[in-house]
Amino acid sequence: MGIEPGEVLRGAAAMAERCSSDSLWENPALFYAAAHFLLSEKGKNIAVVMPFSEGLRSTADWYAQLLAESLGKKFARKIVKTTEGKEEWVKDEARIVCTGRTPVACRGTNDLHSLHQNNIEGRPDKVVTLIKVGRFPLEVTLPEDTGALSGKKYSELLNLAAEATEWALVKAQRPNCTIFLPELSAYLWGGLIYFWELATALEGELLNINAFDQPGVESYKTYLKVKLQPETVSDKNRQEVSSCPVRRQEEFIL
């Protein structure tokens, strides 16, 4: 793909160093995690991620997976010590929390004409993270005979649209923040990935849940294995599936 893996790792390492401080005001990942945790405590449970760059469209999808799988948990975490003196995290089945923010991946400017209507005037349950890119690898300048857009660079217009989005959110008193990348490089992308990974892990600590497992994802896989490869699953799994069959209520079938 023409992307140097070493540059991705170098950017991640630089972000790790930047996020090594215990200070809320010096550690961007800690600040991001704390701010979103506090806002979620006030009912802002939907995380909208909107990069103004087609090159980051898939990264927004990746973050949606990271956030949903890491923080969407039913049980709180219990920390126990093993006989070897090691720390072990287990489900605290006495504490059902059903926590985790719901991610929505979109992109600017495409979704300014759809999802953004809900961001501005819908239920006040969202926090919007915008991503702006300073310089693009390929620059396009519009012709001089295009009215208000004459001679404007595409990147300039894209960032102006992001600025307008910020303004609209602030005017509507909807919480938002902006991540700014001077350019879209492997180094800075690696830093962005690490930043989000660490921020998500820290938010898991604030929620006191295990951010490193995904038991909810495993349940549908168990059903598929029972139906497709019953010889590979345990009697317990087969009993679990048979004791909870899929039911369709005929009176609601139209």
Contacts of 170 (CB under 8 A, 6+ apart): 176
113 is a catalytic site residue: yes
Active-site residue among 4, 42, 121, 221? 221
Active-site residue among 69, 126, 132, 203? 69
Q: According to the 3-state scheme, what is the secondary structure of 109-154?
A: CHHHHCHHHHHHHCCCCEEEEEEEEEECCCCCECCCCCHHHCCCEH
Active-site residue among 17, 81, 84, 113? 113
194: number of Cβ within 10 Å: 21
116 is a catalytic site residue: no
36 is a catalytic site residue: no
Type and span of the H or E element at 242:
helix 235-242
Catalytic residues: 69, 113, 221
